[in-house]
Amino acid sequence: MPSDEEKLSLCLSPSQPLQHQCGDGRRSLLRKPFDASLGGFGSTLASTQTKNSTQFAQPLSKTDVNRLHCTTIVSNPFQENTFVAHLEGRDDCLIIDPGLEPDKITAYLAERNLEPAAILITHGHSDHIGGNHALKARWPECPLIASVDDAEKLTDPEKNLSAQYGLPITSPPADQTVREGDRLDFAGFELEVLAIPGHSPGHVVFVWKGASPMVVFGGDVLFAGSIGRCDFEDGDFDDLAEAIHSKLFTLPDDTLVLPGHGPNTTVGEEKRANPFVGRPAGYQDS
């Protein structure tokens, strides 16, 4: 069995202090939502412990972003972020990366009278799929969507790393698989799929380009001040860095990144200060 510290490091860069990424485990498990209709990202994101709140203190110009409600539900023991996103006036929602404490997710949906339109999986590691079984049992018609290259991890405890951590986990199989360039349209969101391998070969992110600023549901690719671990058997730092540079750092600087662990960040902030892939590591805008 791994130590608690090893457990917490499942998806994080091994060279980054755990405290920085994971918090101390005592923070609120159900963080306040950022709610664009209540004054924009500036005031509301500041309440979600983001360290870069000034990045979001700007007027929002597009109606669809003003209707966004997005809540982060943090699951132990890996401090994994599940996102529940819905648009004002609608009762359907997206669930991104259901974590290991699905009761928190179902409770939130019940409280808000929300129905999931789709469950989106960024990658197949166990801390991001641990809630799939419970959610599919509750909403069997809700499609479970994962990338074509990581789908096999959902049903294989060795490949999703849960067996190695002493708690084998499987998920129902994906109902739909996606790949680079695919478009998804659920709950009023039009999302583009981008493949960002390196932490896991089939890792994808979901980009809502119809928002201003754009929003990336990012999984374990780019964190605030860090990146996803690349030292797993199927990991590759060069792949990760190249994909971040070519696909994320080419998005507008104010693009909001909602990562699978830790606080929110922006593309511009990570270009400026990320020690692994940003300017401190030699990155230059082309």
Which spans of this chain sit near Zn ion (rule: CB under 5 A)?
A: 11, 125, 220
Query: Which is closer to Zn ion, CB of 66 or CB of 126?
Result: 126
Q: Are 71 and 30 in contact (CB under 8 A)?
A: yes
Find how far residue 64's CA is from the centre of its chain: 20
Query: Which is closer to Zn ion, CB of 125 or CB of 159?
Result: 125
2-36: string of b/e by CB count within 10 Å (b at 16+)? eeeeebbbbbbbeebebebbbbeeeeeeebebbbb
Residue 55 φ/ψ, nearest 5 degrees: -65, -25
Q: Least separation, in Å, of the C-beta of 177 and Zn ion?
A: 18
Q: Least separation, in Å, of the C-beta of 63 and Zn ion?
A: 34
Query: Which is closer to Zn ion, CB of 172 or CB of 235?
Result: 235
Query: Which is closer to Zn ion, CB of 125 or CB of 271?
Result: 125
Q: Least separation, in Å, of the C-beta of 12 and Zn ion?
A: 9
Q: Are 21 and 226 in contact (CB under 8 A)?
A: yes
Query: Which is closer to Zn ion, CB of 11 or CB of 146?
Result: 11
Q: Least separation, in Å, of the C-beta of 142 and Zn ion?
A: 22
Residue 278 φ/ψ, nearest 5 degrees: -95, -165
Q: Least separation, in Å, of the C-beta of 152 and Zn ion?
A: 15
Residue where the block lists tokens 């030292």: 231
